Structure formats: structure tokens, C-alpha cells
Structure 1
Amino acid sequence: MFRERLKKLRLEAGLTQKEIAEQFGIKQPTYAQWESGRTKPKGETLEKFASFFNVSTDYLLGNSEIRNPEENINLDDFELLYRNTSKGLSDGEKKQLEIDLKKFLIERQKLINERKNKNQ
């Protein structure tokens, strides 16, 4: 799944293998091996690809269908939860609540997607 996603993202970006290799300071044959599935990059390189393409490493590896979980948070749900629970909190406590709610919503979405994938 990784190799397919990597190639798809590269093509969507309108880049050649050579251009991607140059962007990451690697040789084109090394990149080609990753895209062909002969080898896989190390974790640090996966993180760089995820950041470059604005996707999660879970998406890159085929563990999720969500490209970037933070972009898929339902803001209506988030705002409602935040408003109902932030009254009377300090600015620091409100910031921590925001972080915690985002994490919760991301994990919730992952569980929903896992269930969906199991049922297919």
C-alpha cells in the first residue's frame, strides 16, 4: 500500500521521481526502489514524506484512509464540546482542552474508519 500511495501523491503533485529525489537529497534509484516496493524508507524519511505531502504517516502506510486527520475534524462537534466545557477555565486550561479535544476527535475518527474497513 505504501508504494501505491507514494506514487499517487507524487503524481498528484506533478513531480517526477528525479524531482522528488532532489527535493529530499537522495538518489533517484533509491526513491524508485521505495515506489516499486523493493525497499521501504526509514521512519524519519516517512515523516518527511508525510510532511511534504501534508498527509499522515498512517495514510502513507495504508493504515488509514484519512489523508490528514487534523483536517477531518468536524468543527461543529469541536465547537460545541469546547463551549460547553471551557466556561470558567484559564487561558492555559482552555488551550489544553483544545489539544485534548482534537486528540479525542482524531482517535474517534480512526475507530470509526477501522470499523468501516472491517465491515467491508
Structure 2
Amino acid sequence: MLPERLKSLRKEANLTQKEVAEKLGFDQKSYSFWENGKRNPKNVQQIADFFNVSTNYLLGNTDIKSKNLETDLNKTLDTVKSFDGKPITDSDRETIREILKRRQREREQKENK
């Protein structure tokens, strides 16, 4: 998933591999290896920051690009309480996260039609 996301984000930014590599402080060969899935970068956060996306998006853990949306979701889930006033379980957090991700994908599909 990472190679596809890197290539897609680079193309959306209208940049070459060399331009991205230079801006990140790497050589073009290293970046090419990442895009081609031959190696994984050790500095995923730096790359996510450069493209202004979350590391979860970059790694394929979510389809939500926005770092802010992911951060907001985490903050919200941290404050959610169950009906008895206790914090929700990790299992419930994941269920809520999956429902929201599915809903986001549905919205994006509607927008792309």
C-alpha cells in the first residue's frame, strides 16, 4: 500500500521522484526504491508531514488523508464514554473507527460519481 500511496501523492503534487527526494533530503534512488516497494523508509512521519497526510493514510491503515481528521477522531474517541459513564473499551473504539471509516469511504464514492 505504501508504494502506491507515495506515487499517488507525488503525482497529485506534480512532483518528480527527484524533487520529492531532494525536498526530503534523500537521493532519488532511495525514493524510487520506496515507490517501487523494494525498500521501506525508516522515516514515515517525515514523509507524511511532507505530503500533509497521516502516517495511517500513508501506510494504508485508513483512507482518510487528513492528519487533522485522524487526530480529531482519536481525541473524540478518547473522550467517549459508555452508557455507564466508564471509558469505552478498545474493542468498541475499533468498532466505532471502522464504522466511521466505512461511512467516509461511502461519502467519497458518492462525491466521485
TM-score after normalising by structure 1: 0.62
Is 1:112 aligned to residue 99 of structure 2? yes
Query: Identity percentage over the alignment?
Result: 47
SS at match of 1:26: coil
Gaps in structure 1 of 5+ consecutive residues? 74-98
Residues 2 and 61 in structure 1, CA contact (< 8 A), matched pair in contact too: yes
Cα drift, residue 39 of structure 1: 0.5
Q: Which aligned pairs between 1:34-113 and structure 2 lie closer than 5 A?
A: 34-42=34-42, 45-71=43-69, 103-105=75-77, 110-113=97-100
Gaps in structure 2 of 5+ consecutive residues? 79-92, 103-113
Question: How far apart are the structure 2 equivalents of 1:111 and 1:69?
Answer: 17
- RMSD over equivalenced CA pairs, Å: 2.9
- Give the structure with the higher percent helix: 1
TM-score after normalising by structure 2: 0.65
Residues 10 and 16 in structure 2, CA contact (< 8 A), matched pair in contact too: yes
TM-aligned CA distance change 1:3 to 1:113, over 3 Å = farther
Q: Which amino acid aligns with 2:46?
A: K
